[in-house]
Amino acid sequence: MRQFIRFIRRTLSVRLSLTVVFAIATLLLAALLVMFLYSRRVIKDEVLQKAQETLECTVQRIDNILLSAELASGNMINYLFLHLDDPDQMYTISKELVENNRYIKGCAIAMEPYFYKDKGELFMAYYYTTGDTVQRLTKKPTFQSDTFGDIPYNQQIWYTKPWEAGAPIWIGPIDDLERHGSDIITFGLPLSTLDGKKVAVMGVDVSVALLSEVIKEAKPSPNSYAMLINGEGDFIVHPTLTTPDSTTKYKPITTIPEEIRQPMLAGETGYKKIKHDGHVDYIFYKPFVRKNAPARSMEALNWSIAIVYPEDDIMGDYNRLLNYVMAIAIVGMILLLVLCQIITHHQLSPLLMLAEAARRIANGKYDEPIPDSPHMDEVGRLQDHFKKMQRSLAVHISELEKLNKQLQERNETLQEAYEKATEADRMKIAFLHNMTNKMQEPIDTICERVEQLSKETEQTTPQEADQAVKDIERQCMVVVELLNNLLKVSEKLNYKTE
């Protein structure tokens, strides 16, 4: 790592390329961040709107089915009261309701106990059909039965609840897999005479599987699913019935989370984000509001419908696009870095050549040839100026070498003269030593004679004095001669030195 950092610091083209790529990457990242944050918000708003529209559309489709069953049963009431004294007509009415309405899976007309005394305590005319949830045939195959379940009908909720309420009411879901192949919801319609006496309850069954198919067809995304709950918080349409298929990678929720259950039971509209089975789901919910229609009973159902979006369905394309864009951006940055490196290296190659030439000049190769630059930019002008500087430096160094050579020659001459002067001085000193040594003996002799004469003046004869004077004179002549020789030799040495 340190070597790589050192390489970057020492390589100008790499630093320039990294600077350019870093600047572009910063701007690109900022632009992408703003774009994707805005896109994420737009996607969430779009999904919320789409979910609300889907829920509203699904509610209307389900309400149409409920309204069809309500109107069909309501239309048969007058005919039923006209034939109330004929129990066989109850079978006919029940059968016609089932055969002539494709949404109705069964119809039961349960009379008040002992209403037909010759029929016993309980009498119920019940017809139902099996098979597909939505029949496209004009006449559906129907089956007759005198019972529904294992307990008397006057103890079953679809009978007792409308009877006690005295008003039409939807009840369910009711388990009836044996006959219908799926759960059912029942529209319980209490029948009363003009004087208000309740005589029967008509129960019109609608298959939960039919509602599930309606919800399933309206799913807005591949892995989304929906649910329908009643006022007690029980599933009318279970999420497992509206999943895309059995091989889906997302398992539907089996119980409603409490943070979703409470607002749904309160009839609120909104959405929540939950974590389920290792992934994130968005649950959009709204109350089931029925459409007002003439002669329709508008009792409160307290139902609520919800649609579940896996986050991958909402943000999957967004996240994949983000990954693609990031991958493209990274590859683009790498290609840009390589391209910048090639361009900057090409553009800075004259600088590299000049740096190498400067290194060789620093090592003493002042005549290094530098080619002319083909560029007219700053680098080209720098190369031309460097070439002129190199030529000027070469001329200057050449002059310095010539001057240095002359100085060396003069130094050699001076050294030779110095050596000769040193030799002359040495010879002078030797000659002086020699001459002074020769003058020492005559001077000593003169000194002895003078001292002798000064001490023995009275005892010295004239002959002896003359002899001493002659000796002194002779020794003085020797000293004078030596001094003359010394002066002659000194003049010769001075002449040679000059």
Question: Which domains, and CATH codes, for the chain?
Answer: 2-42+318-347 (no CATH), 43-311 (3.30.450.20), 409-497 (1.10.287)
Contact 206, 107 (CB under 8 A): no
pLDDT tens for the chain, 498 residues: list them. Answer: 667 666 556 666 667 777 777 788 788 778 877 877 777 777 777 877 888 888 888 889 888 998 988 888 888 888 888 888 899 999 999 998 888 888 888 899 999 998 888 888 889 999 988 765 444 444 567 778 777 777 888 888 889 999 988 889 888 787 765 555 568 889 999 998 878 888 999 999 998 888 888 888 877 777 788 888 888 888 888 887 777 655 566 788 888 888 888 888 888 988 888 887 778 888 889 998 888 877 677 777 888 988 888 877 777 777 777 788 888 888 887 887 788 777 776 666 666 666 667 776 666 666 666 666 666 665 666 666 666 776 777 777 778 888 888 888 888 888 888 888 787 777 777 776 776 777 667 777 777 767 766 666 666 677 777 777 777 777 777 777 777 777 776 666 565 555
SS3 462: helix
Residue 238 is classified by DSSP as -
Q: Find tokens 């004179």 and name the residue.
A: 473
To 5 degrees, how large is the angle CA 133–CA 137–CA 138?
Answer: 125
Q: Whole-angstrom Cα distance, residue 105 to residue 180?
A: 7
To 5 degrees, how large is the angle CA 279–CA 280–CA 283?
Answer: 135
To 5 degrees, how large is the angle CA 6–CA 8–CA 10?
Answer: 70
Q: What angle in degrees, to the nearest 10, is found between the helix axes of 311-347 and 349-362? A: 50
Q: Find tokens 């002008």 and name the residue.
A: 381
Helix or strand (DSSP H, E) at 475 = helix 462-497
- Confidence at residue 210, expressed as pLDDT on a 0 to 100 scale: 86
The 8 Å CB, 24+ separation contacts for 446-453 are 446/472, 446/475, 446/476, 446/479, 449/475
- Confidence at residue 490, expressed as pLDDT on a 0 to 100 scale: 67
- Confidence at residue 140, expressed as pLDDT on a 0 to 100 scale: 62
Q: Whole-angstrom Cα distance, residue 219 to residue 55?
A: 9
To 5 degrees, how large is the angle CA 106–CA 112–CA 116?
Answer: 95
The 8 Å CB, 24+ separation contacts for 405-408 are none
Tokens of 205: 């069954």
Q: What angle in degrees, to the nearest 10, is found between the helix axes of 12-75 and 2-10? A: 110
The 8 Å CB, 24+ separation contacts for 254-262 are 256/227, 256/229, 260/285, 260/306, 261/233
